[in-house]
Amino acid sequence: MLNPSTKLHYSNLIKNEAKRLGFEQIGFAPAGYLETEAPKLENWLKKGFHGQMSWMENHFDMRLDPTKLVPGAKSVISLMFNYFPAFIPYDLTAPKVARYAYGEDYHFVLKDKLKDLMHFINAQVGEVNGRVFVDSAPVMERKWAQQAGLGWIGKNTLLLNKGKGSYYFLAEIICDLELEYDGPVTDHCGTCTACVDACPTDAITPYEVDATKCISYLTIELRDAIPTEFAGKMENWAFGCDICQEVCPWNRFATPHHEPAFNPSPELMDMKARDWHEITEEVFKKVFKHSPLKRTKFEGLKRNLSFLRFGEV
């Protein structure tokens, strides 16, 4: 067991290196079973709010207990990386893409940075057993970020930071190194219901989202035809949705990121409405070669665009 001064020393080293790598916020929480989250997750799944995201039902215990992902784990290191863009595509009438998808796929960009941080930890501390995660395993990342003091989980179920907003990717390192732990953050949503009121598909109730009504789910995760009940409610979103973030008062503090990999390509910036609706598979593969838009595939994007134009597939 490490003494307090050693834990503090290692914690400061890791925080400084994480910020050098571009992470704006980093915090530590003790690894353990998220007992209060178990009934919430079970209830959400029973309601069927996960829709076709069947993986949400898998590894229930692992999702709640990081020591099952990394045996002997003592700490969850949570990190935030800004993706708020300085610019949006020029044609405001064109189909919209969630801001997180403007640049390169964040899974690869951030995983490389986490691996660099893990190498740094091993070099400074000695052999540390740990794994890095970027939205790629059963980790309740928003809850761990809250436990690590990075923010609170808002009424739109996103992590909100009082001074920075919510346009952030979350990432984790689960490891067997003891650290100086940060305390959880309290809720600062107050009586605000801006996200609930603004959602055009009524997907949000305070602190819960029915994914089967969420525009992000409908345009990315859903593999079937988009239900006709959502015709005229998509607000021109072709991939993902930022509405509940755009109306959140805390996002008035959002500032542009400094990561070149997340800058939109010139081709994306220049795409007009007509370019979107006439897009070919060849153009799709070229423009979105390294983009998160690959997730929906060409056929999925065409389905979404067709639904936006005609209200049905």
Q: Are strands 75-82 and 25-30 parallel, antiparallel or unpaired?
A: antiparallel
**Residue 310 pLDDT:** 63
Query: Could you report the per-residue pLDDT of 243-302, keeping only the tens digit for each?
Result: 999 999 999 999 999 999 999 999 999 999 999 999 999 999 999 999 999 999 999 999
pTM: 0.95
159-169 pLDDT, tens digit per residue, is 999 999 999 99
Q: What does the alpha-carbon distance between residue 228 and residue 125 come to, in Å, rounded to a whole number?
A: 56
Pick from 162, 3, 7, 9: nearest CA to 80:
162
The per-residue pLDDT for 56 is 87
Q: Residues near 191 by Cβ (< 8 Å), separated by ≥ 6?
A: none
Task: Indicate the domain borders of the chain.
Answer: 4-90+98-175, 194-310
> What pLDDT score does 312 carry?
39
Read off the tokens for 179.
């650290």
| Interacting residues of 285 by C-beta distance below 8 A, sequence separation 6+ | 298
Q: Give yes or no: 202 in active site.
A: no
pLDDT of residue 60: 87
How many Å is the Cα radius of gyration of the chain?
20
Q: Please determine, for residue 313, whether its predicted confidence score (pLDDT) is greater than 70.
A: no
Q: How far is CA 179 from the centre of its chain?
A: 25
Active-site residue (options: 91, 116, 135, 182): 135
The Cα–Cα gap between 68 and 53 comes to 22
Instruction: Please determine, for residue 215, whether its predicted confidence score (pLDDT) is greater than 50.
Output: yes
